[in-house]
Structure formats: C-alpha cells, structure tokens
Amino acid sequence: MTRDSRLQIGVIGAGYWGPNLVRNFSLVSGAVVTGVADTQQKRLDFIGARHPAVRLYRDPLALIGAADTDAVVISTPVETHFGLARAALEAGKHVLLEKPMCASTAQCDQLLALAKARRLVLMVDHTFLYTGAVRKIRELIVTGELGEILYFDSVRVNLGLFQHDVNVIWDLAPHDVSIMDAVIAAPAKGVSAIGRSHFGTTVENIAYLTVTFDNAAIAHFHVNWLAPVKVRMTLIGGSKKMIVYDDTEPSEKVKVYDKGVVVTSDVEEVRRTLVQYRTGDMYAPRLDGTEALYLIAEEFVAAVRDGRKPLTDGESGRRVVSILEAADKSLASGGQLVPL
C-alpha cells in the first residue's frame, strides 16, 4: 500500500485547545491527523467520538514514536513543552508548540539547536499573529502608513481563572508580547515588571510590564486576573497615525486614527519648541475573517513542505520567552530593569 503523501499530524493534549487543533488540521489540504494523545481518557473519548479515524494514545511518547506520525503538535502545560518537543525532534518529527514555547530561554536554545541539526521545522502557536486584525496592523506598519512606531500599550484583563503553575504574566502576556515582537522592528533592550499576589496565592495575579528598545519605542503591558470586566485593548502610536485594536469588538476591531503631534521651531525664538496636535479622520479597515488557527495549520504544513521557516518560528518563540523570563527576574528584584 502506498504511504499517505499528506503530512501526518499527531496532536498531544486534548484539553481546551487540542480539539480546535485537531479540527483545523483536519481541514488543511496536504495534512491528516493520524493520532491524538492525552493522559485523560474522557478527553480521548471526546476526540474519538468526533474523529473516529484518529488513533488515540494515553502515552504521548507512543504517539511520537508511531510510524504514521510525521509532525507533532504540542498543546500541554508549559512545563511539559521541553521534554515532549525534545523527544519529538530527536525522533525526527517536526514540531508545533503551544505558547509560550518553553519555561526558559535555555530550554528554547536546546530545541532550536536540535531542530537546526536535524533540519526540522520548529514553530510556535502565537495565534494572534494570524488573526485578520493583527495581519492588517502589520500591513499598515510595513507599508509605512503609521510612520515610526513610538509606543505599544496593551491591556489584557479579566476576572479570570487563577493558574497554579504560572503567574499572570506567563498566562496572559505572551499574546501581546508576540504581537509587539512582530510590529516593533527593533530588538528589545530591557524589561522591568512589578506585580502582586493576593488571596494567599504564591504567583502574581496582577502585573505591569515595561519593555524598552534600541530605538525610541517603548511598550507597556497590564495583565490582571482580578478585573471586573474583560478588556483586550492595544494602542499603537506612530509618528504619522495611531491604531486602537479592541479584540472584544464584534466587527470594527481595528481603528486607524489620523492623529498625531507636529513639532515645529518658532522662527522668532529658535530655542523654543512648539508642539501642535494634528487631528484627522478615523477609519476601520476591512479584516479577513479566516480563522487564525486554520492559518497556523496551513503555515505549519507549508513550512514543512517547502523546507522554510514559518512566520512564528522558534526564534520568535524564544524572543517572547526571553521577555517573560526577564519579567520574572524583575519581579523578584522589586521592578529593577533587567537587560536583554
């Protein structure tokens, strides 16, 4: 029998995100989900009822070692990412990792070296970079419509589920840090963070994170599990125009404002600087409604097929982890700036 020419995908983790991964990879031309692994039988039963042709595993290592597994998609708690990804890469399998990539930059570096040595694709599921909203934002920046990026300011808060294994920065900030990494064309220079834990917990449930860059840009993040409302808003300020990105908006998620500051020199008093405000129109660009996770699945399959780096490759995943790791160090030092 001729071997299936499609990329044969094994998904590890059938909890909240896993079923969505199985569904989207099943829709991608050139791919087929052949196996799903999870330690909980009820989760496997859920997958089996909807995808009867998929082989089910209680042991993820068995899935990794299966002959009909070409690539492994890992959607498990972050503390398990390194071990599972390393096993998959060592077995010659391409890897797509849920965010954040790993629990430390040292772990990221080991996976990057292993993937390079084996010539395998290593990709990170930074979902928001594939949304119509963020793709439009990147387009506006690349074409120069916003001018030089001056600041990136995001708020991601809700009355959320307290995590026991990671603090609120590792839980919520990777989304916005990955967006920041994609829209600010300069390496991050330093990180400072302050936060607090409440109700007898050992991890921070509210935090403020600031990132500086080699250029004039600055980024700020507010993440919080204790807010009375759900807010998902990002402000991006450019020298020409500004963006408000509200992910809770049902339709007009991105609004572009023709507003800014004009600095002129007074001809009579050259030492005095005059600041004038420019106010123009606002428009909401049309956004592509294709599901982001489907585009991630397409990108992963295409990267493997074409032997190229994906948009959200392991290097981008490492950059995000380096900022989260530095934020932890800053938290421990009372908010001191940690160089990158």
Residue-wise pLDDT tens digits, 127-186: 999 999 999 999 999 999 999 999 999 999 999 888 877 899 999 999 999 999 999 989
Q: What is the pLDDT, as a whole number, of residue 87?
A: 98
Give the CB-side neighbour count of residue 43, counting CA atoms within 13 A: 19
pLDDT in tens, 289-312: 999 999 999 999 999 999 999 999
Place of tokens 């428009």: 283
pLDDT in tens, 241-252: 999 999 999 989
131 closest CA partner among 170, 167, 183, 79: 183
Residues 6+ apart with CB under 8 A from 1: none
Please say if the pLDDT value at position 1 is more than 50: no
Confidence of residue 200 (pLDDT cuts 50, 70, 90): confident
Q: Are 63 and 10 in contact (CB under 8 A)?
A: yes
Tell me the pTM: 0.93
Q: Render 166-212 in DSSP notation, one character per residue.
A: S-HHHHHHHHHHHHHHHH--S-EEEEEEEEE--TT-SS-SEEEEEEE
Q: What CA–CA distance (Å, rounded) separates 101 from 124?
A: 6
Q: Where are the beta strands (DSSP E) in 17-159?
A: 31-37, 55-57, 71-74, 94-98, 122-125, 149-159
Please say if the pLDDT value at position 320 is more than 70: yes
- Share above pLDDT 90 across residues of the chain, in percent, rounded to a whole number: 87
Confidence of residue 83 (pLDDT cuts 50, 70, 90): very high
What integer best gives the mean pLDDT of the chain? Answer: 94
Confidence of residue 279 (pLDDT cuts 50, 70, 90): confident
Q: What is the pLDDT, as a whole number, of residue 264?
A: 63
Q: What is the pLDDT, as a whole number, of residue 35?
A: 98
Query: In this structure, how many other beta carbons lie within 10 angstroms of the beta carbon of residue 201?
Result: 13
Question: What are the angstrom distances between the C-alpha of 127 and each of 39, 112, 283, 312?
Answer: 25, 20, 25, 9
Q: What is the pLDDT, as a whole number, of residue 266?
A: 58
Q: What CA–CA distance (Å, rounded) separates 20 from 14?
A: 9
Q: What is the pLDDT, as a whole number, of residue 275?
A: 62
Q: What CA–CA distance (Å, rounded) separates 92 from 83?
A: 15
Q: What CA–CA distance (Å, rounded) separates 76 from 172?
A: 16
Please say if the pLDDT value at position 219 is more than 80: yes
Q: What is the pLDDT, as a whole number, of residue 201?
A: 87
Give the CB-side neighbour count of residue 314, counting CA atoms within 13 A: 27
Would you call 116 helix, strand, or coil by DSSP? helix
